[in-house]
Structure 1
Amino acid sequence: MPIRIPDDLPASSILKSENIFTMSESRASHQNIRPLRVLILNLMPKKIETETQLMRLLSNTPLQVDIELLRVDARASRNTPQKHLDKFYGDFERIKEKKWDGFIITGAPLGTIPFEDVYYWEKFTEIVEWSKHNVTSTLFLCWSAQAALKIFYDLEKVTRDDKLSGIFAHQTHHHQHPLVRGFDDEFWAPLSRYAEFNSDEIKKHTDLAVFADAPEAGVYLAASPDCKQVYITGHPEYDAHTLNSEYIRDLEEDLEPILPVNYYPNDDKNEKPRATWRSHGNLLYSNWLNYCVYQVTPYDLSV
């Protein structure tokens, strides 16, 4: 089944060229199906790229999904045309009276900035608190996972001296749980963060189940007992070139980045990187959408 997105959203033509089943709003309006309603709060600078990556993963299930894009405020973006934002992104005030099946909050390039110095921290906190009562399951990615841990559990922000960047091998735990159903014992996933997610601290100070972690990288996947909040500390949605683009950006900004590990063939930045995490990313999003959203969300969201 397809995801339903606006007819002229840039992601639509990209996904169609990849033979991914998308459905225009005009066609979907004639189907008598109750699709899942998924909201995406996109905090990433290159919003078109990020929304395409997420929709690619959300399309890989038998479920029909309606996508709505949300922004945290109306400030201009240096990396996304204002016309695109005004046309496809809504404000929180417009959607907060509705109920949602699923909610994805992306990461943000704010790893070294204290939460209280993030200009939209107050609004972000309001949205996260709102999600507890108005969303069946929320998926927090990377920076937003760290921020949500602060909001829900008062876990202090711990920042690494150097950026954790590359493709890391993670171990799967609790194989019987639906969220990791079908996972290999070990899988690869992209990380790009300054945030520290210590397994022992999270197990000690929260009620979260840790489903995947790595010795050098800490927790990768965790969830509340009812899976209403799911935390991914990496980026399974990334394309093969995304870490390369971030590495070049950091070089240009004189941040002296470390070469992403396990990423470039032979650790040669002139070699073309290959994606080794697509199957994991698709399975993770399919499991979340099926078991944490579809299987438990009410048919009538207003109830």
Structure 2
Amino acid sequence: MPIKIPNNLPAVNILEKENIFTMDEDRAYAQDIRPLRILLLNLMPTKIVTETQLLRLLGNSPLQVEFDFIYTATYEPKNTPHEHLVKFYETFADVKDRKYDGMIITGAPVEKMPYEEVVYWNELCEIMDWSRKNVYSTLHICWGAQAALYHYYGIPKHDLPQKLFGVFPHTVNMKEKMLFRGFDEVFYVPHSRHTDIKKEDVEKVPQLSILSESEEAGVYAVIDKTYRHLFITGHAEYDVLTLKTEYDRDVAEGLPINIPVNYYPNDDPQKTPIVRWRSAANLLFSNWLNYYVYQGTPFDLNRLSEDELRGIDGDGI
């Protein structure tokens, strides 16, 4: 949360140079407070696991947040009980007349397929286009990030020679951006994917900036020029045993799979994995929720169409 300080206090300039978010008295008194409305488009097959991972991180905030969950109507999930979907989920048709402060589009295990061959591709494109006018800030994760970068900017994905699998070190390119406020010089993020986007493809698009990357894992975080659409290629939300579950599954099925990098002590799958990414994960999601949703979204969500191209306070957070 921001520090509220007296108007024109000399310390403001120093604090802002140190990337400490401040709010003067005039702005603080003018703020209206209400719960944030977040929409989760869950494309993962194990929806209960994914929603739990994300809610755990988004709940680590003093902000009051309300969630709606949707899945694609053009594909019936096979790994989530129908009763769970009926009780807790809606489809796009149910929510398209609503507006939201924030939205998360998850990854999906379809990355080896061409985008247009994914059964719900047309529906996903419709949802992404809808989000531009009905959601203040959207966070795209892993395949969801690749899909959005392809849909909006034509950035292709490329097959990797082998699965990128493990927990990799990352650095921040643009330290002045608030998404990585409080991060260490080097931080770790889990990745589990067969495809990648190339840095040179992103750099060709003037509307995009690369906020973070990894020598081993490539481009990690991308943001658009309005500072309202973020694309994250890794899985900061993963639990401690998520990579172990994937590894054990592939081993049991006789599939080619390497031991996940930087995960087991001494690369021994019989030992308990080491968590290297939890603090960075909590910071990532709390920073998004605070600086890219709460600090910018209008109190009256019906104003979203007016603010569509404004960005967050126009100041490049």
Structure 1 window deviating more from structure 2 (236-245 vs 203-212): it is 203-212
Q: For 1:227 and 1:292, how far apart are their aligned partners in 2? A: 7
**TM-score normalised according to structure 1 size:** 0.87
User: Structure 1 vs Structure 2: percent identity of aligned residues?
Assistant: 49
Q: For 2:290 and 2:45, how far apart are their aligned partners in 1? A: 29
Residues 117-161 of structure 1 show CA distances to partners (whole Å, capped at 9, x for unaligned) of 111011011111111111100000000100001101011221213
Aligned-pair CA distance for 1:74: 6.4
Superposed structure 1 runs of 4+ greater than 6 Å apart: none
User: Which residue number in structure 2 is paired with residue 168 of structure 1?
Assistant: 168
Q: Is the 8 A contact 1:159 1:194 kept in 2?
A: yes
- The aligned length equals 273
User: Which residue number in structure 2 is paired with residue 220 of structure 1?
Assistant: 220
Q: Per the alignment, in what secondary structure is the counterpart of residue 287 of structure 1? A: helix
Unpaired runs of at least 5, structure 1: 2-31
Residues 188-238 of structure 1 show CA distances to partners (whole Å, capped at 9, x for unaligned) of 010011121222221123522211101121111111122211011010110
Aligned pairs for 1:20-31 (under 5 A) are none
User: Which residue number in structure 2 is paired with residue 293 of structure 1?
Assistant: 293
| Alignment of 1:94 onto 2:98 | no
Q: For 1:238 and 1:189, how far apart are their aligned partners in 2? A: 9
Unpaired runs of at least 5, structure 2: 2-31, 304-317
Structure 1 window deviating more from structure 2 (178-187 vs 66-75): it is 66-75
Aligned-pair CA distance for 1:246: 1.1
Decide which structure has the larger Cα Rg and report it. 2
Q: For 1:135 and 1:99, how far apart are their aligned partners in 2? A: 6
Q: Is the 8 A contact 1:139 1:229 kept in 2?
A: yes
Q: Which letter does structure 1 place at the counterpart of 2:240?
A: A
Aligned pairs for 1:231-270 (under 5 A) are 231-270=231-270
Q: For 1:70 and 1:78, how far apart are their aligned partners in 2? A: 15
Aligned pairs for 1:277-288 (under 5 A) are 277-288=277-288
**TM-score normalised according to structure 2 size:** 0.83
Q: Which letter does structure 2 place at the counterpart of 1:89?
A: Y
Aligned-pair CA distance for 1:251: 2.5
User: Which residue number in structure 2 is paired with residue 203 of structure 1?
Assistant: 203
Q: For 2:174 and 2:183, how far apart are their aligned partners in 1? A: 10
Aligned-pair CA distance for 1:253: 3.6
Aligned-pair CA distance for 1:263: 0.7
Q: Which letter does structure 2 place at the counterpart of 1:160?
A: L
User: Which residue number in structure 2 is paired with residue 115 of structure 1?
Assistant: 115
Kindly tell me: are residues 206 and 144 of structure 1, through their superposed partners in 2, closer, same or farther at Cα, counting changes over 3 Å?
farther
